[in-house]
Amino acid sequence: MRTGDQTLIKELNKNIIMNLIRNQSPISRAQISVESGLNKATVSSIVDEFIQEGLVIELGPARSAIGRRPRMLGFNATAGYAIGVELGIEYVHVLTVDLAGRVVSSHESPLPTTDVRSVVAEIVACIKEEISNIPDSDLGIIGVGLGVPGLVDFSSGNVLYSPNLGWSDVPLRAYLEAHINLPIFIDNEANTGALAEQLFGVGTADENAVYFSVGTGIGVGIILNHGLIRGSGGTAGEFGHMIVEARGLRCSCGSRGCLEMYASTRALVSKYAQLAGTTVSFDEIMRRLRDGENNAVQAVNSIGHYLGTGISNVINGLNPSLVVIGNRLSEAGECLLNSVKDVIHSSALDVPASLARVELSSLGRNATATGAASLALNDYFQGPFPYAHTEPSRVGGRQG
């Protein structure tokens, strides 16, 4: 057998064993051998490598009353960390996760301008601040992921077009790599939100799900047969620009009547001002909604009507088992959810609507950044091999 073949087989075996330890910890070497079909010597050799790297720890003997008790193995989630960044229109939200995807720290910084140089400088400053707060570990920081609003070429890390940021053909990854000496992965923010819900949130058991990221704009991440759908040009999911009002409000994309002009956080602020006669922030509207203020409830119901219309169209077209409403607007809670469900009940086709659960994100404001961090996690653990039912190009295969 050629050396290259032996190396490939070993990497495949390491991949199999690491996934078993990550997903089934605590687990014994003997159990790994049975589950993987690999012989005990191969398992022991690879496990010993993982222990030396700090990724696996021995937990002690199993609680078995019969025969020799096997020593159990555990996944050391604090052996390293990944950083996730959500680039909003008015803010940068940054967090750190451990190797199991658990958030250990986060912070948010306002973004006074969308000028590319200023945004890059702010992202770099936020990443460096997170790095300075991360505990020492065997692996340190394994990578950085970003979720960005707009059309993103995942392979190059270029932002092709972001109407809300006012960007076209921005080589964002290259700009960041000039300041951050770590693997960097960039994807559309709705895609990273969808990945987060699939890996860590309400979508872990669903093969077919859609994630509506509703903030200043609206994007949709699509999971079909466990895989993230990007489309032929990598720009699938721009349902925020479906037309819901002919000759409606002018959108930043140049069209009229786009969904995000009627169902985003920006639309909510505008609707509330129309009802109350005064303009307040989105966070203040959420506070007033929690207090049961009538104008806040009416404004959310109006937004929910349009969002429900958009979701109905997606349910009819994609037949998902789960629709997740995430990003900032999900903070409107049951008031929003009930309004959306009412519209789906009256507008969507009965059969696909009956098969679709509609839920609020379980990850809240952290969804996009957590999913972005998972790009780095997946790359580290899977290398050139697929991550859990998805193609490498869709979930962060290693870059050249």
Q: Distance (Å, rounded) from C-alpha 5 to C-alpha 114? A: 48
Q: Please compute the mean of the pLDDT values over residues 159-176 and round it to a whole number.
A: 96
Q: Are residues 89 and 71 in the same domain?
A: no
Q: Does residue 399 have a pLDDT over 50?
A: no
Q: Are residues 355 and 390 in the same domain?
A: no
Give the domain-ending residue among 75, 102, 137: 75
Q: pLDDT tens for residues 104-152?
A: 999 999 999 999 999 999 999 999 999 999 989 999 999 999 999 999 9
Q: Does residue 79 have a pLDDT over 90?
A: yes
Q: Does residue 396 have a pLDDT over 70?
A: no
Of 343, 281, 282, 266, nearest to 312 by C-alpha is 343
Question: Which residues form the domain of 13?
Answer: 3-75
Q: Are residues 283 and 244 in the same domain?
A: yes
In a domain, 385, yes or no: yes
In a domain, 30, yes or no: yes
Q: Are residues 243 and 99 in the same domain?
A: no
In a domain, 129, yes or no: yes
Q: Distance (Å, rounded) from C-alpha 372 to C-alpha 395? A: 10
Q: What is the pLDDT of residue 203?
A: 94
Q: What is the largest CA-CA distance in the chain?
A: 77
Q: Are residues 248 and 336 in the same domain?
A: yes
In a domain, 97, yes or no: yes
For the chain, the straight-line distance linking the first and the last C-alpha, in angstroms and rounded, comes to: 26
Q: Are residues 20 and 161 in the same domain?
A: no
Give the domain-ending residue among 20, 45, 75: 75
Of these ranges, 15-19, 22-26, 147-151, the one predicted with the greatest mean pLDDT is 147-151
Q: What is the pLDDT of residue 5?
A: 76
Q: How many domains does the chain have?
A: 3
Q: What is the pLDDT of residue 6?
A: 81
Q: Are residues 209 and 352 in the same domain?
A: yes
H/E stretch holding 144: strand 140-148
Q: Does residue 258 have a pLDDT over 60?
A: yes
Q: Please compute the mean of the pLDDT values over residues 346-375 and round it to a whole number.
A: 96
Q: Are residues 233 and 313 in the same domain?
A: yes
Q: Please compute the mean of the pLDDT values over residues 86-113 and round it to a whole number.
A: 96
Q: What is the pLDDT of residue 9?
A: 86
Q: pLDDT tens for residues 43-73?
A: 999 999 999 999 999 997 877 656 677 889 9
Summary mean pLDDT of the chain: 91
In a domain, 399, yes or no: no
* Percent over 70 (pLDDT), the chain: 94
Q: Are residues 212 and 351 in the same domain?
A: yes
Q: What is the pLDDT of residue 52?
A: 93
In a domain, 400, yes or no: no
Q: Please compute the mean of the pLDDT values over residues 150-164 and round it to a whole number.
A: 94
In a domain, 255, yes or no: yes
Q: Distance (Å, rounded) from C-alpha 192 to C-alpha 195? A: 5
Q: What is the pLDDT of residue 68?
A: 72
Of 333, 342, 320, nearest to 360 by C-alpha is 333
Give the domain-ending residue among 12, 41, 75: 75
Q: Does residue 217 have a pLDDT over 70?
A: yes
Q: Are residues 216 and 189 in the same domain?
A: no
Q: Are residues 206 and 247 in the same domain?
A: yes
Q: Please compute the mean of the pLDDT values over residues 228-255 and round it to a whole number.
A: 92
Q: What is the pLDDT of residue 216?
A: 92
Q: What is the pLDDT of residue 62?
A: 73
Q: Does residue 284 have a pLDDT over 70?
A: yes
Q: Please compute the mean of the pLDDT values over residues 10-21 and round it to a whole number.
A: 90
Q: Are residues 29 and 115 in the same domain?
A: no
Q: Residue 294 is part of a domain; what is its CATH number? A: 3.30.420.40
**How does residue 390 score in pLDDT terms, banded at 50, 70 and 90?**
very low
Q: Enumerate the β-bridge partners of residue 140.
A: 80
Q: State the DSSP string of 210-263.
A: EEEEESSSEEEEEEETTEE---TTS-TT-GGGSBSSTT-PBPTTS-BSBTHHHH
